[in-house]
Amino acid sequence: MEREVRTRYAPSPTGYMHIGNLRTALYEYLIARKYGGKFILRIEDTDQERYVEGAVDVIYKTLKMAGITHDEGPDIGGEYGPYIQSERKHIYIEYAKKLVEMGEAYYCFCTKERLAKLKEEQEAAGSDSQKYDRHCLGLSKEEIKRNLENDVPYVIRQKMPDTGTTSFEDAVYGTITVENSQLDDQILIKSDGLPTYNFANVIDDHLMKITHVVRGNEYLSSTPKYNLLYKAFGWEIPTYIHVPLILKASGQKLSKRAGDPSFEDLVSMGYLVEAIINYVVLLGWSPGDNREIFSLKELESIFDINGINKAPAIFDMNKLNWFNGEYIRKLSEDEFHEIAKPYYEGAIKNGSIDLKKVSRLLQPRTEVLTSIPANVDFFDSLPEYDSELYVHKKMKTTKEIALNSLNEALPVLEQITEWNEQNIHDSLFKLIEKLAIKNSQMLWPIRTAITGKAVSPGGAIEIADILGKDETLSRIKIGIEKLKNNG
């Protein structure tokens, strides 16, 4: 009988959730859902120096926003808890001492000063890798007992084999082999009694029956250390899935310090959660065809480990913008209006503006929600603008043509009794036909006059309808005076 697929997302509560964290959680979740297994949330808080108050809440909030639901975890429990590492301290000590008894680990009483001096000496000697010199490996049982009875601070180190090689299979990178002589006797239990990440995750993964482990490929070189622990205990090794780095276009790793956005940052910047999820899953994974748009529900059934790439993934904001635009256009008019409304506040104070009409204008033209205020503020008041805006080679307009078009349009628009988009359209196109000019030579000057911007959502007719008759005519008159004075 095959084992139930069990995956885990095990973040450290050190602040925000960056894009790499989100992708790991997403891949682990999708693997569990694809095979009808369980997805576990485990909080790895053994590094107390980096612990950030409130960070666990950020993890819960992010997973909930993303639609990534866990089956077991600190908040909902499960048969393999507790799911917070600091609450499992006694478990790690027990297993570390078993390793000592088996000869696979040993007590180390070296002081920080001695270790610092050792590092200096190795660096001075030009050593490629600084390794612990096993000073405490040869301590007698009597010395160890005396030190423990006298409460001498200690750590427990893993005893690595110093000859031969260790190999493991990775689902993405294939067979990886390392020389055991390159492995350092890593610390398993720190002097504060808490386990290191490398030790705790092996113990927890085994006890929680984790079958698949997803992590960044920077951990490839550490994996033999984990496998030696599994081997020492006689435990079954999980399937490793190392995923490629996520880089910026410059080739640098994404970094919060460098101003790269976290998941919450992207949401606050106006990106839809569904678009972010869709884009992030494709950072290092391909479905095997040209399709790019997937809902989370669809991904649960089609995600395949074989689609994970080895090559680094490039995080491209322009591509994310495209995804976001696609998702915005898939919304109903009412859905878009609801999410757009907060962005109108402050930008459009004029209560006479029909915001639903503004939403209809914006939806097919919006990629990022935070661009909305700057795109609609002209509805509230006409900005200052230069008469050079009327000049447009492609539209074949000059200031002279623009002035003439505005002068011709003003009385025609004044005669409209029922102000709506259809009547504005019919009146202007009759005038265009009468003057025998290009559409753009009439519509570009009017759009410029009523928006005061080089770029605006929608054209002259749609915008005039929203502004209303009085405001439209007032702005056209301002445009005529501006052209007269600056022509």
The confidence score (pLDDT) of residue 165 equals: 93
pLDDT tier at 331, thresholds 50, 70, 90:
very high
Q: With respect to residue 325, please indicate whether it lies within any of the assigned structural domains.
A: no
Is residue 335 predicted with pLDDT exceeding 90?
Answer: yes
| Residue 426: band (very low, low, confident or very high) from pLDDT cuts 50, 70, 90 | very high
- Would 125 be classed as within a structural domain? yes
Residues near 219 by beta carbon (within 8 Å), at least 6 away in sequence: 242
Is the pLDDT at 29 greater than 60, yes or no? yes
Secondary structure (DSSP) of 46-99: --GGG--TTHHHHHHHHHHHHT---SBBTTTB-TT---BGGGGHHHHHHHHHHH
DSSP letter string, 363-398: GGG-S-GGGHHHHHGGGTSPPP--GGGG-BTTTTB-
Query: What confidence category does residue 76 fall into, taking pLDDT thresholds of 50, 70 and 90?
Result: very high
Residue at a domain's end among 184, 215, 243: 243
Residue 370 lies inside a defined structural domain of this protein? no
In the chain, % of residues over pLDDT 90: 84
CATH value at residue 479: 1.10.10.350
Asked whether residue 390 carries a pLDDT value surpassing 70, the answer given is: yes
What global pTM score does this model have?
A: 0.90
Residue 393, domain member (yes or no) = yes
Q: Which of 38-47, 123-132, 329-338 is predicted with the least confidence, judged by mean pLDDT?
A: 123-132
Question: To the nearest whole number, what is the mean pLDDT of the chain?
Answer: 94
Residue 368 lies in a domain: no
Confidence of residue 129 (pLDDT cuts 50, 70, 90): confident
| Structure confidence at residue 487 (pLDDT) | 55
Residue of 447, 270, 454 lying closest to 371 (CA atoms): 270
Residue 150, CA distances (Å) to 96, 108, 147, 154, 360 in order: 20, 14, 5, 11, 76
Please identify, among 223, 243, 263, the residue that sits at the C-terminal boundary of a domain: 243
Q: What's the total number of domains in the chain?
A: 2
Average pLDDT over residues 344-356: 93
Q: What is the Cβ-side half-sphere exposure of residue 274, based on CA atoms within 13 angstroms?
A: 15
Q: How many residues does the chain have?
A: 487
User: Which CATH number goes with the domain that contains 131?
Assistant: 3.40.50.620
Residue 375 maps to a domain: no
Q: Which residues are catalytic?
A: 256
User: What's the rounded mean pLDDT across residues 247-265?
Assistant: 84
**Which residue, of 194, 209, 243, is where some domain finishes?**
243
pLDDT band of residue 161 (cuts 50, 70, 90) is very high
Residue 469 is part of which domain span?
Answer: 387-486
What's the alpha-carbon Rg for the chain, to the nearest Å? 32
Evaluate if residue 304 carries a pLDDT over 80. Answer: yes
Weakest-pLDDT range from 123-127, 230-234, 399-403, 482-486: 123-127
Would the pLDDT of 1 be above 70?
no
Residue 197 clears pLDDT 70, i.e. is over it: yes
Q: Are 328 and 367 in contact (CB under 8 A)?
A: yes
Cis check for the bond before 82: say yes or no (omega within 30 of 0).
yes
* 178 within domain boundaries: yes
Instruction: Kindly report, residue by residue over 39-75, the tens digit of the pLDDT.
Output: 999 999 877 777 778 888 989 999 999 999 999 999 9
Distance CA 131, CA 142 (A): 26
Q: What pLDDT sits at residue 127?
A: 75
Asked if residue 66 is part of any domain, the answer here is: no
Q: What is the C-alpha separation between 278 and 136, in angstroms, rounded?
A: 51
pLDDT average, residue stretch 24-50: 92
